[in-house]
Amino acid sequence: MRLCCNCRSGVFMMPRNDKEWAEWIMAALQVLRPPEKLTVSEWADKHRILDSKSSAEPGPWSTDRTPYLRGIMDAFTDPRIEEIIFVKPTQVGGTESLNNMFGYVIAQDPNPALIVYPMLDLAEFTSKNRLQPMVQLSPTLSDRYKNEDSKVLELQFDGMYAVIAGANSPASLSSRAIRYLFMDEVDKYPKSAGKEADPRSLARERTKTFTYNKKIMQTSTPTLKSGPIWQSWLGADVKLQYYVPCPHCGQYYTFKFKQIKFDKTKDVDEIKSTALYECENCEGIIRDAHKPSMLRNGEWRGLDGSTKPKRKTGFWMNSIYSPWVRFGDIAAEFITSKRGGPEELMNFINSWLAEPWENTQIKLNSDKVLKKTGGYEEGIVPDRMILLTGGVDVQKDRFYYTIRAWGEHMTSYNIRHGVVDTWTEIEDVMNISYCGRDGTEYFVNLCAVDSGYNADETYDFCARNTEWAVSIKGSNTPLNTKYKHTKIDREEKGVYGISLYHVDGNYYKDFITGRLVRKPDETGGWFVYENTDEEYAEQVTAEEKVIEKSGRKTVEVWRPKTAHADNHYLDCEVYAAFAADCLGIRYMRYGESKKPEPPQEKSQEKRNLNNLAGGGKWL
């Protein structure tokens, strides 16, 4: 039998002459020749083909289109790096960089691999529509692909297999040793894989046998600070950001959203076409046309200027770097998201800025409250006030109260707060007069009393004082309006039609916090008197806003910062704010002779409350 030079044909025929010997030797050397010495970006530029089904720009891959991906991809071939952490927005090619690493493994250094997606059905979809087409379009990959031996969730190649898994499926994450671990969109992983532990931990367990040459790549758009990708970023040995040079002064810096300049008063389309980027160093105007050159000349650096990678190397960037996104697109998206509410704004912060969501208005402590003094003493009503309201939080053995003065644009000042022991003392506090510096006399126009703890006594108290007191109850579920008015009857006492207001406490806590952080020169501020006690300030800031899951939705709710934090004065201020809103303070102007009707409740009782005597020259 002769050895044929085509070993793959399975026919072995001895060469008959020198020419055939030479061909045979060349074929053997081709089989034995080691792979080219390429980085991941070099391999992708040479061998990766993008298909029209999953890419907006099909055809040969070019790293020059997204130069920032070069450093991330080439970190995969750096022997000093074991784990890559990529915190990314959408529309920057992050998932494609992962795919290029996977393609490189198949062609250059085959070893068992595991790719984990958030859900099993997404893993199946990605295998069919992205990974297998990538393999079939590249000759260097398709030559190694064993199509007949492969399944949707297990691809077989010469010298390796690749498992495609879902983070919600413990079976797909277990029982296979792997050298390469790729985890995509880790912030969308479930907290546990069925009855098993954290899916990321399960996946990492599979790399234990490859002690010295494993490679782990995880990437995701961030969600919360407590989310997996942001915690991994914080735990990285080195944190790199992409620095680009200014086309005017040459200074290197990272792209920041605050440097995008646009007119917020314009409509969205005009903002899209006119937004510009301003250099933070020379204040030079940077246009979209400058961006490609800036990206080509950019480099990954740490905050201290270092570029040396370490075992766990983190990369972070926002969507301003994307060649497919204009400065105006980002500005317009911000305006649209801000108008759309917290969920849309959260999506902008996560998916466009690649930052974890947090409500910056909730970063409050007692010092913030104590600094918001309005230049007046306790018990004195500041100038140009229109009315006073009160709030009472009922406890088992005491009553917390606050009295607040309100002016135009809902500017407000705490006049008095404290703790008393009896209902009689509450009546006294709410019925005495308070004077302004010009001698104008003010009375509490409306006091909201919490009925959550002792409803019967609260109803009795408000029934005796209908001219200035109403009972309220915090709503445990979101309301369509800030508050809702109902009537209750107490047949056993022969009392009918008692007013009860269900109040959205989250709304008014947002309101108070938003007013508290306003600058001194802004209208509508929230102030306290000079030498306010720290106990009051601590209680007003005893809660923080957190994001929780409610079914499939993400919701923001106020929760105590610590388990035993007292928040009674915060509740009192919520009730006082509701009372002012109920009276229509947001529509009032100092000096007007007639007070407008509030928009919600127009009953005779409400009109009587609106016409109660109070301070200010609008009477």
**pLDDT score recorded for residue 292:** 95
**pLDDT score recorded for residue 596:** 41
pLDDT at 339 over 70: yes
pLDDT at 618 over 70: no
pLDDT digits (tens, 9 = 90+) for 551-609: 666 677 888 877 667 899 999 999 999 999 999 998 898 876 444 444 343 333 333 33
What value does the mean pLDDT take over residues 417-421?
Answer: 96
What value does the mean pLDDT take over residues 390-405?
Answer: 95
Per-residue confidence band for 404, with pLDDT thresholds at 50, 70 and 90: very high
> Exposed, middle or buried: residue 488 (CB in 10 Å: 0-12, 13-18, 19+)?
middle
pLDDT digits (tens, 9 = 90+) for 6-35: 444 445 566 677 777 777 677 666 655 666
pLDDT digits (tens, 9 = 90+) for 34-84: 667 899 999 999 999 988 877 778 899 999 999 999 999 999 999 999 999
pLDDT digits (tens, 9 = 90+) for 384-393: 999 999 999 9
pLDDT at 184 over 50: yes
Domains of the chain, each with CATH number or no CATH = 1-31 (no CATH), 40-235 (3.40.50.300), 366-610 (3.30.420.240)
SS (HEC) of 441-477: EECEEEEEEECCCCHHHHHHHHHHCCCCEEEEEECCC
Per-residue confidence band for 397, with pLDDT thresholds at 50, 70 and 90: confident
C-alpha to C-alpha distance for 470 and 362, rounded to whole angstroms: 29
pLDDT at 3 over 50: no
Write down the mean pLDDT value for the chain: 85
pLDDT above 90 as % of the chain? 59
pLDDT at 457 over 80: yes
User: What angle separates helix 40-47 from helix 94-108, to the nearest 10 degrees?
Assistant: 90
**pLDDT score recorded for residue 35:** 66
pLDDT at 216 over 90: yes
pLDDT at 617 over 70: no
C-alpha to C-alpha distance for 100 and 71, rounded to whole angstroms: 13
pLDDT digits (tens, 9 = 90+) for 481-536: 889 888 887 766 666 677 899 999 988 998 998 888 887 777 889 999 999 999 99
Per-residue confidence band for 190, with pLDDT thresholds at 50, 70 and 90: confident
- The verdict on pTM exceeding 0.85 is no
Per-residue confidence band for 194, with pLDDT thresholds at 50, 70 and 90: low
C-alpha to C-alpha distance for 82 and 378, rounded to whole angstroms: 62
**pLDDT score recorded for residue 319:** 95
**pLDDT score recorded for residue 453:** 84
> Residue 122, CB half-sphere, CA atoms under 13 Å: how many?
14
Q: Among 118-122, 228-232, 429-433, 517-521, where is mean pLDDT lowest? A: 517-521
**pLDDT score recorded for residue 86:** 97
CB count in 10 Å sphere of residue 530: 11
**pLDDT score recorded for residue 563:** 65
Selection from 528, 510, 511, 509 nearest residue 368 by Cα: 528
pLDDT digits (tens, 9 = 90+) for 570-586: 999 999 999 999 999 98
CB count in 10 Å sphere of residue 90: 15
Query: Structure tokens of 143?
Result: 């030559």
DSSP 237: S
**pLDDT score recorded for residue 141:** 93
**pLDDT score recorded for residue 112:** 95
**pLDDT score recorded for residue 29:** 62
Kindly state the helix (H) or strand (E) to which residue 108 belongs, with its residue range: helix 94-108
pLDDT at 619 over 50: no
User: What angle separates helix 505-516 from helix 568-582, to the nearest 10 degrees?
Assistant: 100
User: What angle separates helix 423-431 from helix 455-464, to the nearest 10 degrees?
Assistant: 40
